[in-house]
Structure 1
Amino acid sequence: MRVLFTVLAMLAILDCPATARAEDNLNTVLDPIRTKYQLPALAAAVEKDGKLVAYGAVGVRVAGRDLPVTADDRFHLGSDTKAMTATLAGMMVDEGRLRWDSTIAEVLGPALPKLRPKFGAITLRELLSHTSGLPTDNEEIGKLYFSPDAADHPLTDWRLKMIEAWGSKHDPSFVNAGKFQYANLGYIIAGAMIEKASGKPWERLMFERIYAPLDLKTAGLGAQATFGEYDAPVGHRVDDKGKVTPFPWGESADLPASLGPAGLAHMSIKDFATWAGWNAGEGKRGPALIKPETLKTLHQPVVDMQIKDPKPGTPKTGSYALGWGLSKFDWSDKPLLTHNGSNGLNFASILVDVDHDLAIVVTTNIAGPHADPATRDVMKALYTKYAK
């Protein structure tokens, strides 16, 4: 079984621009890059001072079909969902339902009495900053994600069973060592803690506490196309020989639903820019989802990341906050908030410059070796155009 979870984005980091005219059309920037990297579709948007100033979408929804994308089409965000889960956690902290140092055992222990003590001692902050000592996705964790037993339980119950199955057998690989180790499982656990604290499923909270207040009308969860229709840019996979295959619907079109808190959001490029722009504002304007100081906590670096042998144009240094990475590029003069996301079929990048209240987002409906450099080229082009 080829496991999709291994390509859920290991955050990357990109940069952003600063001034623009009202709603510039970015298609002339995007189309040469899309053609160069042979992507089915490519979209991008820029938000400055809380206003959408530029956007574009080029290419097709399905490779080989004459179905042009639009700027209102839904794209998959992958691990860019993590910042939304961290924001939900911030809401629970603001409301006194959780603390950043709340432990797994403290919140979930009564329902999961078999947890090992060191596992149970992991805190919410450690889960959200990837400093918990939980491993990056491996074969054993993949069996939990793709277990046939998941169909026998409500989703919230299944998350708890997954947590107990792992936490009753494994200690963290390091404890309170301040090390970085990217772990999707950590965000599933954080999601379960949020569910326990709020009394509502993570999925419901996403719609009620983030999508609705920000008026993200295109936002949803899971595969972006309606079952049986090509009403959104569907995901594509590239095999070792370069063959491109679309995966429009069904179980093969996305990761299992249990991974929601780690990476299953989708929305249009314009709505994605709204989310990014809200973060760029750092609480200076509404809606007041969380306290400004809480939002700054989410954006504050927690741990340094070691970036070995970076590809040309990618950051050489970086850190991780809570659901966000921070990195400095060759074309940026400081570290910027950023994250990449992929479910193995799509790719999305977000970049936020809070000092200039500026945000850039880029999406494509394919993963593989060309998606990351293509989005980096777009980010660089937009930085050059709008930040100067």
Structure 2
Amino acid sequence: MSKTTAQPGPRDRTKAAVSRSAVVGAIFLMATSAIGPGFITQTATFTAQMGAAFAFAILVSILIDLAIQLNIWRMITSSGKRAAQLASSAVPYSGVLLSVLIVVGGLAFNIGNIAGGGLGLNALLGIDPKLGGLITGVLAIGVFLFKRAGKVVDAVVLVLGLGMIVLTCIVAFVSQPPVGDALRQSFVPDSISFATVTTIVVGTVGGYITYSGAHRYLDSGRTGPENAPAVMRSALSGILVTSIMRYVLFLAVLGVVASGVALDLESQVANPAGQAFAAVLGDAGIRIFGAIFWAAALSSVIGAAYTSATFLSAFSKKLGGGWPLQLATVCFIVISLAVYLVVGTAPATLLVFVGGFNGLILPIGLTIFMYIGWFKPRLLRTDAYPKWLLIIGTAATVLTWYMAVQSVGPIFAMIGIGA
């Protein structure tokens, strides 16, 4: 008698599709969260100041990102727990502390992301920035009102991420940057600015961004140590997408700077990235900048709201997933949008304060996770966590503590300490 192999039924195929969607969503959620309006502005500013030497700062940020994300993705998915729950399992109440820091920081930066959406639509369509911010916030809310919000999030961040890469590649090609010089200075820079490296790392890895991809990956159901190889491949894919966007954006602006165009970095209405795109393609460049800036803002609003909401499960298990988590995410965006509409944007002092917070969140969280890897691997459902990951993760933790000392300076200055 011949044996027949059972074919997957409709339910199995649906689960597989949801799982694949969550994996792709995790990759692009991490990538688009790291490429927000702030990063675009910082890249244009630092490239105008440092030229090709800024390539070194980008490379260092990518290497630190690699050490951090490989560990965070591996630990969270191996344990099958979100970051706050895993942290509290190792150090009581540490997850609550981490959650408070991330929710406060994510809320403040989401106000800035919505403001960035307003500026993007202003450049793209010429509409009032406040109306543009409202449209951005409402669209982000709409994403989480769908019954299957997870799949919608995955599709939106995928389209926005690919759109940003394609449009930026067009500008980079037209601007004709000195690629050879940029490549050389990625490894042997003419000058090194550790302040710049600190700013880029904190802005693209710190806060909620550290956990966005890993938390979304949990929804795929592919958890446990047995899925570690697939997790590592996905994390590497996310870092690759992020790295491509970082370098392409840098090259687009570098081409303009290298041609002799001086970007305005001093005035209150300075928009170095918009100026660079306009210098390459004129009015079309402004429109392309608007599209990229808006896509970066909308994807960052989605990423910040979703990831911050997942940390609320530290206070209530009901918020661990499903419709309660979607409602919490919607409330998060509504609060951010309401503050933006009243204030106009995130107050500069608030952004500086939360920027310092982001610098603190990163090493605090990493220290807890490195402690788990070294001393409590059983929480990761294994007897021994890979030593090479612990070594690069510990090195990154030491570096981020140094960066934290640099980033808390503005906080102390704001509250009158050490001024």
> For the pair shown, which has the larger CA radius of gyration, 1 or 2?
2
What is the TM-score when the length of structure 2 is the normalising length? 0.25
Structure (1 or 2) with the greater helix fraction: 2
Structure (1 or 2) with the greater strand fraction: 1
